[in-house]
Amino acid sequence: RHVALDPGALLLGGFALDEAPRILAAIACIAARAPLRHLETPGGRRMSVAMTNCGEAGWVSDRSGYRYAAHDPLSGLPWGAMSPLFRDLAVRAALAAGFPGFAPDACLINRYEPGARLTLHQDKDEAFHTAPVVSVSLGVSATFLWGGQARGDKVRRHVLHHGDVVVWGGPARLTFHGIAPLPVDAHPLTGPLRYNLTFRQAR
């Protein structure tokens, strides 16, 4: 169930299946403190994906740009702590993919409703591109798009299912990637929704 998508990018099929119900319960707690919200891009568009964070650093976007912040701009409170359940899963996945010593300080939680999408982008707001990004997919399956190191490179597709974990490191760390519009579908644990968690070493 381990498939190399690219050098440095390893799909761990079903790696988070056992923990999925507990992760979803934890997301509800995190969102009670720091609600999932549609951030505004620097260009003034409302993102179709709703986001929140836990950990010492949280990814935020507004008219002034993208950045990691220690506090939730909605409440002024620090983001909730990253639970051992989350941290241990991310560290085990990184290790399984050949990245020992992963020390995530940021967990971005994305929620997709039907039609929500993420256009092709690179993740480069983190201070350490030497650390991988670990992503956990939950709920409705989505088509993941990934290209190469340049925006114009050919885009490939792979469906990510409930419980799948992908680790992106080394030569794959700056790969262009995105998510195609979420289809209308249902999952027993999330109904029409898809969640994705990304763990990073941001600062």
Which residues of this protein are in contact with Fe ion, per CB under 5 A?
123
Alpha-carbon span 107 to 59, nearest angstrom: 8
Residue 121, beta-bridge partner list = 177
**12/197 with CB nearer Fe ion:** 197
Distance of CA 181 to the CA centre of its chain: 16
Q: Nearer Cβ to ligand MD3, position 54 or 166? A: 166
The span from the CA of 150 to the CA of 161, in Å, is 26
Residue from the set 123, 126, 139, 199 that interacts with ligand MD3 by CB under 6 A: 123
Contact between 135 and ligand MD3 per CB under 6 A:
yes
Which window, 18-26, 36-44, 150-158, 169-177, contacts ligand MD3 (CB under 6 A)? 169-177
C-alpha span between 111 and 141 (Å, rounded):
12
Of positions 53, 61, 175, 201, contacts ligand MD3 by CB under 6 A: 175
Amino acid at 2: H
Which tokens hold the place of 175?
């790969």
- Contact in structure between 24 and 138 (CB atoms under 8 Å): yes
Nearer to ligand MD3, 76 or 114 (CB): 114
Identify which of residues 30 and 108 has a Cβ nearer to Fe ion in the complex: 108
Asked whether position 190 contacts ligand MD3 by CB under 6 A, the answer is no
110 binds ligand MD3, rule: CB under 6 A: yes
Closest to Fe ion by CB, 162 vs 200, is 200
Is the Cβ–Cβ distance between 52 and 37 less than 8 Å?
yes
What is the spatial distance between Cα 140 and Cα 95, in angstroms, rounded to a whole number? 26
Judged by the rule CB under 6 A, the positions of this chain that interact with ligand MD3 are 108, 110, 118, 123, 133, 135, 166, 168, 172-173, 175, 177, 179, 196, 198
